[in-house]
Amino acid sequence: MSLVTDTLSADRAEAVARAQAQPGLADVADYLALLKPRVMSLVVFTALVGLVRAGGDLHPVLAFTALLCIAIGAGAAGALNMWWDADIDAKMARTRGRPVPAGRIAPGEALAFGLVLAVAAVTMLGLFVGALAAALLAFTIFFYAVVYTMWLKRWTAQNIVIGGAAGALPPVIAWASATGTIGLESLVLFLIVFFWTPPHFWALALLRSDDYARAGVPMLPVVAGADETRRQILLYAAILAPLGVAPAWLGFAGMLYGLVAAALGVAFLALAFEVYRRRRGESAAAAARRLFAFSILYLFLLFAALLIEAMMR
Amino acid sequence: MEHEQKGIVLTEEQRRRRQRRSIALALVLALLALLFYVVTIVKLGPQVMNRPL
């Protein structure tokens, strides 16, 4: 209860006051921003790959509906995250322009928007596609909005490690949409995104640790220091590189994917090692920036290779 | 007789934004109705017509 009381504090009251003082300021773009479109694009892409790899005999219209519901569900989780985190967002340079801390949308509006979209996405997926997929989508939204946003994010430096499960579930939801089951291949895709998340976010956190410290978010660089973060980035990269090749080892994917995944894994590991080695000054920041940028390309190319292979079959 | 304006008076920009929000909402609802129609046909197929009158 104290967590609730603390969070509904002066910062949020200020955000409400700002939004009420400027009625009607929200534009369509502000509501779209609440959906975290960049995160959504990653979610949709990994889900699309899960859907295509699963095969099955799902009608294309229902496949599109499944992707739409997963996208809306991800957007709903983003809106609920922005509602709860308005006080933190207001303190960080990267996020203070978001619609709620900037006062263009009142926190209550963001909450209502997120809840309506979450209920709509889960209901539509359940009625049109399948119960298992809908249950997984509901769990994902709950995990991101409640377990990660309300609990883990402000409590532990392992926040994005455990919370990363929410971002890794979309291929599993898509797989369940196509087949009605959870296949081993979808779990391997889950693990790839799950182990990709910490080095991706910690590379960014190394660059923004002052921001996180000011907002009181216990990210790993703030709590354990930059050097420990660099060590853990290298550790996760060492797990991720062979895991990325696993679909080829396990026989799910072919030679093309295996080669692409191996090359990308080596590059990821090399950049993580650079982050580990360069610890001071501008070269350290440049190494973290390179790893962060490459991590996005890594995941995109890995899943694109899976998609291309499936389409060539 | 001149009417005195009461309550919140929106600026021109606020009016424009409200109009854009309304149009976006109308489009979303129209697309949703279309999606429900198409999904119903896909799921039920010709059986959608096969019911007692």
* Surface of A (116-145) touching B: CB under 8 A: 128
Q: Is the dihedral of CA A104, A106, A107, A112 positive or negative?
A: negative
Q: Is the pLDDT of residue A243 over 90?
A: yes
A206 and A144 belong to one structural domain: no
What's the CA dihedral at A161, A165, A170, A171 to 10 degrees? Answer: 90
- The residue type of A276 is Y
A126 and A5 belong to one structural domain: yes
At A22 the pLDDT is 62
Q: Is the dihedral of CA A252, A178, A132, B30 positive or negative?
A: positive
At A6 the pLDDT is 45
**Chain B residues touching residue A28 (CB < 8 angstroms):** 20-21, 24
pLDDT digits (tens, 9 = 90+) for A126-177: 999 999 999 999 999 999 999 999 999 999 999 999 999 999 999 999 999 9
> Is B38 an interface residue toward A (CB < 8 Å)?
yes
A268 and A127 belong to one structural domain: no
> Is B29 an interface residue toward A (CB < 8 Å)?
no
Cα–Cα distance measured from residue B53 to residue A42, given in angstroms and rounded to the nearest whole number = 48
Q: Determine whether the interchain pair A61/B17 forms a contact, defined as Cβ–Cβ distance below 8 Å.
A: no
In b/e form, how buried is each residue of A154-190, taking b as 16+ CB within 10 angstroms?
beebebbbbbbbbbbbbbbbbbbbbbeebbebbebbb
Q: Is the pLDDT of residue B17 over 60?
A: yes
A144 and A273 belong to one structural domain: no
A117 and A7 belong to one structural domain: yes
At A107 the pLDDT is 94
A23 and A69 belong to one structural domain: yes
* Tokens of residue A73, six digits: 């569900």
**CA B19 remoteness from chain centre:** 13
pTM: 0.90
> Is B40 an interface residue toward A (CB < 8 Å)?
no
CATH number for A94:
1.10.357.140
At A14 the pLDDT is 64
In which band, very low, low, confident or very high, does the pLDDT at A56 lie, cut at 50, 70 and 90? confident
Rg (CA), chain A: 20
- The residue type of A155 is W
Q: Is the pLDDT of residue A282 over 70?
A: yes
A152 and A281 belong to one structural domain: no
A24 and A96 belong to one structural domain: yes
| Boundary (domain end) residue, out of A163, A181, A199 | A181
Q: Is the pLDDT of residue A246 over 80?
A: yes
Contacts of A75 (CB under 8 A, 6+ apart): A34, A35, A36, A37, A40, A117
A100 and A13 belong to one structural domain: yes
Q: Are A276 and A295 in contact (CB under 8 A)?
A: no
Q: Determine whether the interchain pair B43/A25 forms a contact, defined as Cβ–Cβ distance below 8 Å.
A: no
Which candidate from B10, B24, B42 shows the least CB-CB separation from A59?
B42
pLDDT digits (tens, 9 = 90+) for A18-38: 655 565 689 999 999 999 999
Size of interface A-B (CB pairs under 8 A): 32
A8 and A146 belong to one structural domain: yes
A155 and A11 belong to one structural domain: yes
The Cα of B14 is separated from the nearest Cα of chain A by a number of Å equal to 5
Q: Are A23 and B14 in contact (CB under 8 A)?
A: yes
The Cα of A75 is separated from the nearest Cα of chain B by a number of Å equal to 15
> Is A23 an interface residue toward B (CB < 8 Å)?
yes
**For chain A, what is the domain count?**
2
Q: Is the pLDDT of residue B49 over 80?
A: no
Q: Are B8 and A23 in contact (CB under 8 A)?
A: yes
Percent of chain A with pLDDT over 90: 89
Mean pLDDT value across chain A:
93
At B10 the pLDDT is 83
B46 class by beta-carbon count within 10 Å (0-12 exposed, 13-18 middle, 19+ buried):
exposed
At A41 the pLDDT is 96
The Cα of B46 is separated from the nearest Cα of chain A by a number of Å equal to 15
Nearest to A85 by CA among A214, A217, A210, A202: A217
Q: Determine whether the interchain pair B17/A25 forms a contact, defined as Cβ–Cβ distance below 8 Å.
A: yes
| Boundary (domain end) residue, out of A181, A197, A231 | A181
Q: Which domain holds residue A51?
A: 1-181
Q: Determine whether the interchain pair B18/A24 forms a contact, defined as Cβ–Cβ distance below 8 Å.
A: yes
What's the CA dihedral at A106, A108, A111, A112 to 10 degrees? Answer: -110
pLDDT digits (tens, 9 = 90+) for A133-146: 999 999 999 999 99
Comparing B3 with A75, the larger pLDDT belongs to A75
Q: Is the pLDDT of residue A62 over 50?
A: yes
**Secondary structure class of A99 (helix, strand, coil):** coil
| Boundary (domain end) residue, out of A123, A154, A181 | A181
A176 and A203 belong to one structural domain: no
Q: Is the pLDDT of residue A96 over 50?
A: yes
